[in-house]
Amino acid sequence: MTARCVELREIRLPLVTPFRTSFGVQTARRILLVRAEVQREGQVVEGWGECVAPDEPTYSAEYVDGAVLVIREQLAPRLGAVAQAADVASSLVDVKGHPMAKAALEMAVLDAELRADGRSFADLLGATAERIPSGVSVGIHDSIAELERAVAGYLDDGYVRIKLKIEPGWDLEPVAAIRRLIGPDALLQVDANTAYGRDDLDHLCRLDEFGLLLIEQPLPEDDLLGHAALAGASSTPICLDESITSVTTVIDAIDVGACEVANIKAGRVGGYLTAVAIHDACRARDIPVWCGGMLETGIGRSANAALAALDGFTLPGDVSASRRFYARDIITKPIEVVDGHVAVPTGPGFGFELDRQFLDEVTVEVHDLSRNAPGQ
Ligand code: NPQ
Ligand code: MG
């Protein structure tokens, strides 16, 4: 088999409601998609990957325009033709950083390869669960009353776990209000996206009284020892997101006591294959993991639903319905939450079918990657 990434496509989708985090507000999402082709016995089979890089470099260093450049000028030429998805990461290893861009290329090749084999991603992973519990990430709101309305709506939708975005000035009061609203037994956690500092450890310990599942990434991504200090002081488990960029970083974070729970996002770690390796490393160390989200379309959402079916994913993830973020998805059967769960896709590849007409309607730009092949 030979696989190539042949097309980079930028789409734009409006969000159903603004999504505010400690690092900014999003009202629409530009998303890069990668199309790969594999040749198998004279047939051409197509696969798709999704780059989770946001519009601006405020979650991590990557962003859409940077990803376009690095994929076109650096990654796609190095990739050229590969024999299998498992070779993508090693062929790109000389390029430092850019995990989301690399992950998108690996994803496209993996989807194409699996489709050519008639095999699902869940089958490749050995995941047997038919459905996964679905959690929802709730942005910062202008008032507690608005937040309560939003959370009540998500509970009506069936979500089994609520995650509140927090930042200094929006933490104890909203968390107290939502704990009161949803009752003592409902699953609740918070995510600060690095908004606090080492001077805030005492303040963050005040969250302990709310019975949270975890507090996600309170401190800057490079502050592992700060997270370890907080883990020692707080009864709420510390979960890392932004800090975990590789198998090595997660093992080190666990070893120094900074990571009691891990959020796994394939894009942040350079691809789904590394995401599985991180899952395995956490499982071997009895660290619970859950699947994070990056406002994916149905492409990334389908892949996440399969990843989250692995045994070590013992906490509900941010794998919510397509309509949590988008009125219309680019796949024909949008991801749905039924009875609080998302179905693990069973079709070949990541299991989605593209809505070609809608995809074309939302396409902003198409780049031909085959023209950047080496020697052309
Ligand atoms: C997190 N996601 O867990 C991220 C952060 C995040 C679902 O909470 C555009 C693209 C906007 C990606 C905003 C969730 C985003 C984004 C927030 C990711 O930290
Ligand atoms: Mg997070």
Paired sense of beta strands 363-368 and 2-21, if any: antiparallel
Task: Read off the pLDDT of residues 318-372 as tens digits, 9 standing for 90 and up.
Answer: 999 999 999 999 999 999 999 999 999 999 999 999 999 999 999 999 999 987 5
CA of 301 to the centre of ligand 2 (A): 16
Where the chain has pLDDT below 50, the residues are 374-376
Regarding the beta carbon of 300 and ligand 1, being less than 6 Å apart is answered no
Q: Are 264 and 289 in contact (CB under 8 A)?
A: yes
pLDDT for 371: 72
Residue among 96, 102, 165, 333 flagged as catalytic? 165
CA of 165 to the centre of ligand 2 (A): 9
Q: Catalytic: 333? A: no
pLDDT for 372: 56
Report the C-alpha gap between 308 and 197 in whole angstroms: 31
CA of 165 to the centre of ligand 1 (A): 10
pLDDT for 376: 38
Q: Residue 250 has which token pair?
A: 């997660």
Q: Catalytic: 102? A: no
pLDDT for 1: 80
Burial 319-356 (b: 16+ CB within 10 A, else e): bbbbebbbeebbbebbbebeebbbbbbebbbbbbebbe
